[in-house]
């Protein structure tokens, strides 16, 4: 009889323990790390993207913001060949850079008179960058 009482006691204790566990709140989920889309983008890249977007807006943006960057790139490319942008004859500049790019980077280019016209289309800018890369 004593054995039966011990078995009943173990069963009741097990049932009580099961009920206690069932009444406990569920465990908190593991903290999640914030997911990022990838490594942070360089600030210089973001600045160039903004420059390209604004240059499409109007000729003033092209002259004031895009032109200095294009001139800097062209000057460095020419310097590697022992030439300067300032001393490059007009015909040679058009030959090396193409008409559209040369019209933007040529020394002495006046501020655009038409301020509300179109800027540089992405396709044109792409062609200009290809001309700079070929140099």
Range of lowest pLDDT (4-8, 70-74, 125-129): 4-8
**Is this model's pTM higher than 0.75 or not?**
no
- Reading phi first (left if > 0) and then psi (alpha if -120 to 50, else beta), residue 82 is in left
Range of lowest pLDDT (43-52, 63-72, 101-110): 43-52
How many separate helices (H) and strands (E) can be counted in the chain?
7, 0
Band (pLDDT 50/70/90 cuts) for residue 29 is: low
3-state SS, residue 116? coil
Average pLDDT, the chain: 80
- Which comes out higher in pLDDT, residue 38 or 94? 94
Band (pLDDT 50/70/90 cuts) for residue 93 is: very high
In the chain, the N- to C-terminal Cα span, in Å, equals 102
Band (pLDDT 50/70/90 cuts) for residue 83 is: very high
What average pLDDT score do residues 110-118 get? 84
Residue carrying structure tokens 């600030």: 43
Instruction: Please give the pLDDT value at position 90.
Output: 93
């Amino acid at each position: 009889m004593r054995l039966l009482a011990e078995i009943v006691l173990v069963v009741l204790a097990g049932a009580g323990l099961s009920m206690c566990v069932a009444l406990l709140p569920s465990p908190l989920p593991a903290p999640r790390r914030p997911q990022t889309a990838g490594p942070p983008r360089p600030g210089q890249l973001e600045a160039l993207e903004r420059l390209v977007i604004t240059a499409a807006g109007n000729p003033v943006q092209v002259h004031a913001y895009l032109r200095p960057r294009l001139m800097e790139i062209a000057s460095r490319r020419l310097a590697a060949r022992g030439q300067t942008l300032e001393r490059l004859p007009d015909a040679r500049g058009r030959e090396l850079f193409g008409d559209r790019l040369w019209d933007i980077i040529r020394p002495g280019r006046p501020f655009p008179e038409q301020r509300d016209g179109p800027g540089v289309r992405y396709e044109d800018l792409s062609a200009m960058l290809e001309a700079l890369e070929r140099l």
